[in-house]
Amino acid sequence: MAALTTTESETGSAPPAARPPRKVGFSQKLSRWDVKVSPYLYISPFFILFGLTGLFPLAYTAVVSVYDWNLLGGQGDFVGLQNYVDVLNQPTFWKSLVNTFSIFLLSAVPQVIIAITLAALLDQNLRNATFWRMGVLVPYVVAPIAVSLIFGRLFADQFGLINGFLGVLGLDPVGWHSDRFASHIAIASMVNYRWTGYNTLIFLAAMQAVPRDLYEAATIDGAGRVRQFFSVTVPQIRATIIFVVITASIGGLQIFDEVKLYDVYGQGGSDRQWMTTVLFLYETAWGNQRDLGRAAAVAWMLFLIILVIGFINFKFSTRIASSGPKAPKVSRAVTRRLLAEARSAGAESAARRGDQQSTTTTDTTDRSDS
């Protein structure tokens, strides 16, 4: 890993005497110090605040999880890993995991596919483009209470609109609450309603940044719309695809509102047929059990599961969006003009090195597991 600078070698730690110094003295030291410290300085606000608001709860949860700890009664005896064992022995916990994955797959997969398709449609020379583009984001602002009210009327088992419609067509009603899989579909559709437009806009932003001349070149090469999409668009928005897949995975495994609001009791159904693990956690802590110790154990296990899934998806999406044709990421002309204006001769070589680096850095994310 080298610090990106014009005066430092790739290792970033070569003694200055190894090269004829261009400038001597304090300003250079300052500059080197600037290069060394700045990166850390810029990420420090996040880490400092996160230490308080993220790390503290995580550590606190870890402590609670090894005690017998009632929500109201407070701390009890030290029980070691007993809470974890208890949770793992509960069939409902395993059921909730299956539900979580089922709802997650039913929501994340269609969501990403629909979002990227819509984005591709919006990334055209549309009339009133702004109107269409902002339109897809509307669901993101609708209050959950309104969404649950409407979807509740759609998906009611006996008098719901959807089953009424099916009845008109002469089909049997679907048990949107009684049937396990059907309830997952209903919940996933609420989740998809809320997040598809949002992800569409994220994809669109990335697509808009793809240089248009690439498409022109592809058109000249005789590639059709679909072919262009797969061989130009997808590789170009690789970083964004990774971003969306990972955030959708992490979010999808933590779906809570839609699940809790799907019926009045908020306990995942009479057979726990749509209880997800986050809801299980909530019920364990605030529900009838009031067992904060077990809930903390669930929280930690869920945390680890999400990490693993997130990592798998990262690998997966990196493969999907693996580098296609290498292409300049920005309009070259402007950069060239800027470089031409650069005064020092060292600048040219530096820029070349920068160029090389820019072709290699795109792969650094692959190694972020180091």
Partner 1 sequence: MHRSTRSQGRLAATAGISILALSLSACGGGSNDQGEGEGTSDEPITLTVATFNDFGYTEELLAQYTEEHPNVTVEQTVAARSEDARTNLTTKLAAGGAGLADVEAIEIDWMPELSQYPDLFEDLADPEVEGRWVDWKVEQGTANGKLIGYGTDIGPEAICYRQDLFEEAGLPSEPAEVAELLGGEDATWDDYFAAGEEFVKGSDAAWYDVGTSIYQGMVNQVEAAYENTDGTPIPLADNSQVQDLFETVTAQNEAGLSAGLEQWSDDWNAGFQKDAFATMLCPAWMTGPIESNSGGIDGWNIADVFPGGGGNWGGSFLTVPASGENVEAAKELAKWLTAPEQQTTAFENAGTFPSQIEAQESDTVQSFTNEFMNGAPVGEIFTNRAANIEVNPYKGPNYFSIHTTVQDAILRVEVAKSDEPDASWEKALSAYDELGL
Partner 2 sequence: MSSVAAAAQGAGKGAAKAAARRRVRRQKHHGESAVRRPGWITYAVLGIALVISAFPLYYTLLLGSSDQVTISQEVLPQLLPDASIFERFADVMGNSQVNFWLALANSVIISVTISVATVLTSTLAGFSFAKLRYPGRNALLVFVIATMAVPTQLGVIPMYILMSEIGWVGKIQAVIVPALVSAFGVFWMTQYLDSALPFELIEAARVDGASMFRTFWSIALPAARPAAAMLGLFIFVMQWTMFFWPSIILGSQNPTLPIAVQNLTAGYHDDYSLIMAGVFLVTLPLLIIFAVIGRQLVAGIMQGAVKG
Considering only residues 67 through 126, tell me which ones interact with partner 2, judged by CB under 8 A.
118, 121-122, 124-126
Residue 79 makes contact with partner 1 by CB under 8 A: no
Query: Which residues in 67-98 are b (16+ Cβ under 10 Å) and which e?
Result: bbbeeeeeeeeebeebbbebbeeeeebebbbe
Residues 246-265 that bind partner 2 (CB under 8 A): 246-247, 250, 254, 256
The 267-286 site mask, x for binding partner 2 (CB under 8 A), equals -----------x--xx--x-
Residues 111-140 that bind partner 1 (CB under 8 A): none
Residue 263 makes contact with partner 1 by CB under 8 A: yes
What string of DSSP letters covers 30-95?
HHHHHHHHHHHHHHHHHHHHHIIIIIHHHHHHHHHTTEEEETTTEEEEE-TTHHHHHHHT-HHHHH
Q: Counting Cβ atoms within 10 Å, is residue 103 exposed (0-12), middle (13-18) or buried (19+)?
A: buried
As measured in angstroms, the least distance from the Cβ of 106 to partner 2 is 17
Tell me which stretch binds partner 1 (CB under 8 A): 16-24, 172-180, 231-239, 303-311. Answer: 172-180
Tell me which stretch binds partner 2 (CB under 8 A): 75-83, 174-182, 296-304, 316-324. Answer: 296-304
Residues 149-168 that bind partner 1 (CB under 8 A): 152-153, 155-160
As measured in angstroms, the least distance from the Cβ of 321 to partner 2 is 11
* 40, interface contact from partner 2, partner 1, none, CB < 5-8 Å by kind: partner 2
As measured in angstroms, the least distance from the Cβ of 155 to partner 2 is 13
Question: Cβ neighbours of residue 235 under 8 Å, at least 6 residues apart?
Answer: 321, 322, 323, 324, 325
Query: Which residues in 296-319 are b (16+ Cβ under 10 Å) and which e?
Result: bbbbbbbeeebeebeeebbeebbe
Q: Which long-range contacts (CB under 8 A, 24 or more apart) does 330-333 make?
A: 330/211, 331/211
Residues 173-232 that bind partner 1 (CB under 8 A): 175, 177-179
Among 47, 50, 56, 311, binds partner 1 (CB under 8 A): 56
Q: CA-to-CA distance for 353 and 10, rounded, in angstroms?
A: 10
Q: Where does this chain bind partner 1 (CB under 8 A)?
A: 51, 55-56, 59-60, 63-64, 71-75, 86, 90-92, 152-153, 155-160, 175, 177-179, 263-264, 266-267, 269-271, 273, 286, 288-290, 292
